């Protein structure tokens, strides 16, 4: 214990005392002593479509067991393969249960520097959709790493990609964007970073020092969404900005062609329950349930607890390294909102079987 110099008053000394400890952060696992209500929601109040997951490594039959146990009607597998491997992945799931799985393709940049690339992306989209894919995801390598034939960083709003978006509109399949990450990922990995442990576990997730700041990446994406009003876009992870739901609300107000998914962002939404609840009520038609986590029974049930109950201060669903040292609060969403977020909004974006 250390005291500011001159504070010999016992009360001043007490309120000024600070700890100086050498407990390792990774050994610190405090348990909440709060006695709060706990509701385990074993099955969702309405059938669920998990619109954002990655199942490539999973056995379809094992996933189906979990889905049945957790009231999941369908999972959208966003394959991380491209080319023939992507089609094989699609077949792996659709051949087992075509009504229970859907597949998103993954943007293939492997030959971005070769002549004809931008036309080929359109043909690849056509081929994927012909085989039953329900969308294509564009990931954060665009805007940070992908370089064109001249060695220039490809901008997200590069007009050479316009034919892809136009074709997606004609084929009636959405484009999903995951082109940035939480604000903390753009800051140094230091003692002030609220996701310090997560970034320490995944230093490659840091954008600190990236060519474009986060605002610029989002602005480029937003220009594409504005330029292609007939194309449906899905902004993964609450359009990358759950820390600022006022901004996301503005985006949804301006762009009727935009939906957002909540995957991997319960931590962000659940630490601002008043604002998040209003957001869900206002944009109930535009929000998609998604998880972006390995299918597990407890993982799904935590999502239901978050969306359905008014439980307070509990752990959010997360990958092993966690997202930040805080807990979340349930949103107790009304039935008509749950029905849309869990299933109906996704159903509108999926092709009719
Ligand atoms: Zn994902």
Residue 292 C-alpha to ligand 1 middle, in angstroms? 5
**Residues 133-151: tens digit of each pLDDT:** 999 999 999 999 999 999 9
Q: Is residue 2 pLDDT above 60, yes or no?
A: no
The predicted pLDDT at position 4 comes to 59
The predicted pLDDT at position 214 comes to 97
Residue 11 C-alpha to ligand 1 middle, in angstroms? 52
The half-sphere exposure of 293 on its side-chain side, counting CA atoms within 13 A, is 25
Residue 264 C-alpha to ligand 1 middle, in angstroms? 8
The fraction of the chain above a pLDDT of 70, given in percent, is 97
The predicted pLDDT at position 5 comes to 64
**Residues 279-295: tens digit of each pLDDT:** 999 999 999 999 999 99
**Residues 189-204: tens digit of each pLDDT:** 999 999 999 999 999 9
Q: Read out DSSP for 1-12? A: -B--TT--SHHH
Q: Which of left, alpha, beta for 46 (phi over 0: left; psi -120 to 50: alpha)?
A: beta
Strand partners, 2: 18
The predicted pLDDT at position 351 comes to 84
Residue 99 C-alpha to ligand 1 middle, in angstroms? 21
Residue 10 C-alpha to ligand 1 middle, in angstroms? 54
**Mean pLDDT score across all residues of the chain:** 96
Q: How far is it, in rounded angstroms, from Cα 185 to Cα 176?
A: 21
Residue 319 C-alpha to ligand 1 middle, in angstroms? 12
How many whole angstroms from its chain centre is CA 86?
Answer: 21
- Across the range 298-318, mean pLDDT stands at 97
Residue 53 C-alpha to ligand 1 middle, in angstroms? 6
Q: How confident is the model at residue 300 (pLDDT cuts 50, 70, 90)?
A: very high
Residue 240 C-alpha to ligand 1 middle, in angstroms? 12
**Residues 102-129: tens digit of each pLDDT:** 999 999 999 999 999 999 999 999 999 9
How many whole angstroms from its chain centre is CA 307?
Answer: 16
The fraction of the chain above a pLDDT of 90, given in percent, is 96
The predicted pLDDT at position 229 comes to 98
Residues found in the chain? 353
Residue 21 C-alpha to ligand 1 middle, in angstroms? 38
Q: How far is it, in rounded angstroms, from Cα 90 to Cα 306?
A: 31
Residue 52 C-alpha to ligand 1 middle, in angstroms? 6
**Residues 57-76: tens digit of each pLDDT:** 999 999 999 999 999 999 99
Apex 313 CA angle, 307 and 36, nearest 5: 100
- Across the range 24-33, mean pLDDT stands at 94
């Amino acid at each position: 214990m250390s005291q500011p110099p001159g504070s010999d008053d016992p009360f001043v000394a007490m309120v000024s005392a600070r700890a100086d400890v050498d407990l390792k952060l990774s050994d610190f696992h405090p348990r909440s002593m709060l006695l709060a209500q706990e509701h385990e929601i074993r099955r969702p109040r309405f059938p669920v479509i998990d619109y954002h997951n990655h199942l490539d490594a999973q056995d379809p039959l094992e996933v189906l067991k979990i889905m049945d146990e957790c009231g999941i009607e369908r999972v959208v597998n966003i394959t991380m393969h491209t080319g023939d491997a992507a089609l094989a992945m699609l077949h792996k799931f659709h051949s087992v249960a075509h009504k229970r799985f859907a597949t998103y393709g993954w943007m293939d940049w492997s030959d971005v520097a070769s002549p004809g690339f931008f036309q080929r992306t359109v043909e690849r989209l056509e081929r994927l959709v012909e085989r039953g894919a329900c969308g294509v995801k564009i990931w954060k390598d665009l805007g940070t790493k992908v370089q064109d034939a001249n060695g220039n960083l490809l901008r997200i709003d590069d007009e050479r990609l316009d034919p892809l978006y136009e074709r997606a509109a004609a084929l009636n399949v959405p484009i999903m964007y995951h082109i940035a990450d939480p604000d903390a990922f753009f800051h140094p990995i230091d003692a002030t970073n609220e996701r310090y442990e997560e970034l320490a576990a995944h230093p490659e997730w840091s954008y600190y020092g990236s060519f474009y700041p986060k605002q610029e990446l989002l602005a480029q994406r937003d220009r594409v969404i504005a330029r292609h009003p007939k194309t449906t876009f899905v902004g993964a992870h609450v359009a990358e900005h759950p820390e600022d739901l006022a901004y996301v609300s503005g985006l949804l107000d301006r762009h009727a062609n935009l939906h957002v998914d909540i995957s991997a962002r319960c931590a962000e939404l659940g630490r601002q329950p008043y604002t998040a609840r209003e957001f869900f009520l206002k944009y109930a038609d535009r929000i998609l349930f998604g998880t972006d986590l390995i299918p597990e029974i407890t993982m799904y049930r935590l999502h239901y607890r978050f969306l359905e109950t008014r439980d307070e201060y509990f752990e959010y669903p997360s990958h092993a390294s966690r997202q930040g040292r805080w807990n979340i609060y349930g949103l107790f969403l009304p039935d008509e909102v749950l029905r849309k977020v869990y299933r109906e909004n996704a159903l509108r974006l999926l092709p009719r079987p």
